[in-house]
Amino acid sequence: MDFNIFNVVILLGAIQGIIFGIYLASRKKKNIFLSIILWVFSLTCISFVLMDTRIIEQQIELLFVPLNILLAFGPSIFFYIKKMTNEKYKLSLKEKLYYLPVLLQFSLYVFLFLQPASEKIDIYQAYYINIISPIEQIISIVYTLVFLMISYNLISKYEVWLKDEFSEIKKYTLQWLKRLLAIYIAIWLLWTFTTLLDYFMYNWQLESVYYYYIYIPLAVFTYWIGFSSYSKKHEDADFEIKQFKRSNDVIEFEKDTIDAVEKLKQLMTDEKMYLNPDLKLLNLADAANMKSHFVSNVLNSVVKKNFHDFVNYYRVEEVKKQLLDNKKLKNYTILGVAYESGFNSKSTFNDIFKKQTGLTPTQYLKRIT
């Protein structure tokens, strides 16, 4: 047994991941797919430590212990994201079949693990190294990368959809998960490169130290993704994935379109609906006595703005108007003016104001005074 500091870091991260997964699975509003993700990577890290510390060499009966079920990660991250964006989402029978390769992988390792210890070495040298492991690695790499890319695309579509439905998206956004997903994709690509290098150049003899730069970040981010999901105060969404897609309906009646645009602008300028920080597309559509999908089409096709940008344009204009009022500035800070104008987030206000004016709020105030 030969433990080093790297093994300790990987093992501690794996143990924390397992504990965190159990905790998340026991919560009232649980997302079991996140727990599966944490358990999959935690068990994979433990399997690596057992090999790296030569524990398995000393305890042959542990060879093929069924800890490596990496095929479960791909579909689990995809279903996790679906669940995050739709609390009522449930797996269909067809989607459950995505776990069939996982069952086959697990069954294979159980079968190999149950073989007599005296035969395991022969199986390992004759079949596992040259046949089973290469095939397993290739399938795992391709299967997981496909789901990672699909998951990343799903979050991107969700972010686009949010801007068509909400004027304030910060509390609904999954950008934090999108960034972590990008990191996992990077780790998986490194894993792919190292695995191919090990197989084609070193015939599976590459020293395990070269895998540390994969397993250490893996252990850290396995814990971090669970912590991030727990700590983020996302509101549960009851939206179907199909709603994320923008409608491609063609607006046929020009007069109806012009009238709709004028009505929507009037609700902004006269009724000042943008002052509601939680204004949603549905609220605006109801006030205009129109269907929400029609309003979304009009904004995107005619006004050339999504709902988020359309509403925040008027909020920025309101801020600019208020900043010209010296009396207003005596009682309010710039951020106070922003809140009075419908914004409810400092970071959102700063980003949108600079995007629309090319200046920060402070720079703009200096220019006009």
pLDDT digits (tens, 9 = 90+) for 6-52: 899 899 888 888 988 888 888 766 678 989 988 998 999 999 999 89
pLDDT in tens, 79-119: 988 888 877 788 899 999 999 999 999 999 999 999 999 89
74 close to 148: Cβ distance less than 8 angstroms:
yes
Beta bridge partners of 250: none
10 Å Cβ neighbour count for 227? 12
State the pLDDT at residue 30: 64
Six-digit token string for 171: 């509390």
Beta bridge partners of 86: 238
72 close to 99: Cβ distance less than 8 angstroms:
yes
Q: Rounded to whole angstroms, how far apart are CA atoms 264 and 256?
A: 12
State the pLDDT at residue 236: 45
The backbone region for 304, taken as left when phi is positive above 0, alpha when psi lies in -120 to 50, beta otherwise, is left
Residue 54 sits at φ, ψ, to 5 deg, of 65, 20
Question: CA torsion angle for 203, 207, 208, 213 (degrees, to 10)?
Answer: -100
HSE-up (13 A, CA, CB side) for residue 103: 5
104 close to 72: Cβ distance less than 8 angstroms:
no
State the pLDDT at residue 272: 96
Beta bridge partners of 228: none
Q: How remote is the C-alpha of 260 from its chain's centroid?
A: 36
State the pLDDT at residue 173: 79
Six-digit token string for 345: 């987030």
Beta bridge partners of 238: 86
- 252-260 contacts, C-beta under 8 A, 24 or more apart: 257/298, 257/302, 260/288, 260/290, 260/294, 260/295, 260/298
7 close to 215: Cβ distance less than 8 angstroms:
no
pTM comes to 0.77
Whole-number CA gyration radius for the chain: 27
State the pLDDT at residue 234: 44
With vertex at residue 200, the alpha carbon angle to CA 214 and CA 186, rounded to the nearest 5 degrees, is: 30
- pLDDT (tens, 9 = 90+) of the chain, 369 residues, equals 678 898 998 998 888 889 888 888 887 666 789 899 889 989 999 999 998 998 988 899 999 999 989 899 999 999 988 888 877 788 899 999 999 999 999 999 999 999 999 899 999 989 998 899 889 988 998 999 899 889 988 888 888 888 988 888 887 777 777 787 888 888 888 888 888 888 888 877 888 888 888 888 888 877 776 676 666 544 444 444 444 554 555 455 455 788 899 999 999 999 999 999 999 999 999 999 999 988 998 998 889 999 999 999 999 999 999 998 866 777 889 999 999 999 998 999 999 999 999 999 999 998 987
Six-digit token string for 300: 């995107």
Distance, first Cα to last Cα, the chain: 72
List C-alpha distances in Å: 299 to 158, 242, 262, 268, 275.
18, 19, 11, 13, 19
State the pLDDT at residue 185: 83
